[in-house]
Amino acid sequence: MQLADIVLIIHFLFVLFVVGSLPVIWMGEWLHLKFVRNFVFRLTHLAAILFVVAESLIGVICPLTSWENELRGIKAEQSFIQYWLHRMLYYDFPEGVLTASYVVFALLVAITFKLVPPDIPSKLKFKR
């Protein structure tokens, strides 16, 4: 396995975390699972989607995409892993559609933060 394939797998796992965590949070709330209110998990999830939105709004290519492309150099024969993960990760939509989708998804994550609030550790709570 090439280093570029490892970067692609990490990228896929990041996307899976960002996209998959939202339904997991809602299902977990419905099933009364405590981990969905974990502060670090929820803050990490919110930060991840906000990072994606910021990249898109300022027009920066994802660092993982850049790194993978750099590692691959000239386009060569695709490995099995590369072929299938690329088919799942990369799509052909206008940039504005993607940016709008990222912003709407980030709003859903923020709304979820309000409707299914994380348990904030006592040392982070403001004392009155």
pLDDT tens for each residue of 43-95: 999 999 999 999 888 988 888 888 888 888 855 455 445 656 667 666 677 77
Residue 128 has pLDDT above 80, yes or no: no
The overall longest dimension of the chain from CA atoms, in Å, is 62
Residue 18 has pLDDT above 90, yes or no: yes
In angstroms, rounded to a whole number, what is the distance separating the alpha carbons of residues 102 and 56? 8
Q: Answer for the pair 28, 88: CB distance below 8 angstroms, yes or no.
A: no
Q: Which amino acid is at 36?
A: V
**What does the radius of gyration of the chain's CA atoms come to, in whole angstroms?**
17
Q: Would you state the pLDDT for residue 67? A: 86
Higher pLDDT, 127 or 95: 95
Q: Would you state the pLDDT for residue 80? A: 46
In angstroms, rounded to a whole number, what is the distance separating the alpha carbons of residues 106 and 74? 34
Considering the entire predicted model, what is its pTM?
0.78
